[in-house]
A and B are shown apart, each in its own frame.
Chain A
Amino acid sequence: MLVIRRDLVEAMVAHARRDHPDEACGQIAGPEGSDRPERFVPMLNAERSPTFYRFDATEQLKVHREMERNDEVPVVVYHSHTATEPYPSRTDISYAQEPDAHYVLIGTSDPEEHELRSYRIVDGVVTEEPVQVVESYMFAHTGVDDTPDGS
């Protein structure tokens, strides 16, 4: 299951809407081992295409270095499908190389209602997972360090 803050969901959807009809892509970094998405990192789609995306390689290295310095990993890797269902395409599956990441797809083919789905993709096998949107991780059961401080 992906547990994710509402503001991060809204940021992904806004990015997908902004770049529509081209595909938008990005990642959400979180502390290594936490499985908790925290830092929104929209990425350039080097392909600028309605049917394909690719992280810009130079930007990807820069972001990778930042994440290493912060002991972060890409907890979420997201992109949009602007004309088709938000289900991983054959190309998405062949490139999926982060077995610990949640692959989030945002469908923007309907101008009013977006569709957001999350998947694990491991060794070419796609498994959809539920998404729980929370206001804050304080009250969600995402880890032992989430107990609210004080009383």
Chain B
Amino acid sequence: MAITVSIPTILRTHTGGQKSVEAAGTTLAQVIDDLEANHGGLKSRLVKEGTLHRFVNVYVNDEDVRFSGGLDAAVKDGDNVTILPAVAGG
């Protein structure tokens, strides 16, 4: 079993239009590295200077990872990782 990652519309250019893809890893950082290996260009949209980019929200199952360790958040097989664009402005 793998980890299922939901990809938002804006990033589907990196996944050939797929809404969700599979990845592996035991932390969010590893999942993102695995995504990058198979779908080049995703990592720079998600991570900036070693932390999650402020333009995205990332959830493991129902948990916003900003409250559960950020890139160090634990993930395991069968988990769902959801990426959503942050909706914000001034």
The interface of chain A, by Cβ under 8 A from chain B, is 23, 25, 27, 43, 47, 51-55, 57-58, 60-61, 64, 73, 77, 79, 88-92, 94-100
Contacts and interface: CB of A to CB of B under 8 A. Distances in A.
8 contacts: A54-B88, A57-B59, A57-B86, A61-B64, A61-B82, A95-B85, A96-B89, A98-B10
A54 B87 contact: yes
Nearest to B54: A95
Select the residue from B66, B82, B87, B89 with max chain A CB neighbours within 10 A: B89
Nearest to B82: A61
Interface residues of B, number: 17
B62 interface: yes
Would you list the 10 A-B pairs with minimal beta carbon distance, nearest first?
Answer: A92-B89, A97-B85, A54-B88, A91-B90, A55-B87, A89-B90, A97-B10, A57-B57, A57-B64, A95-B88
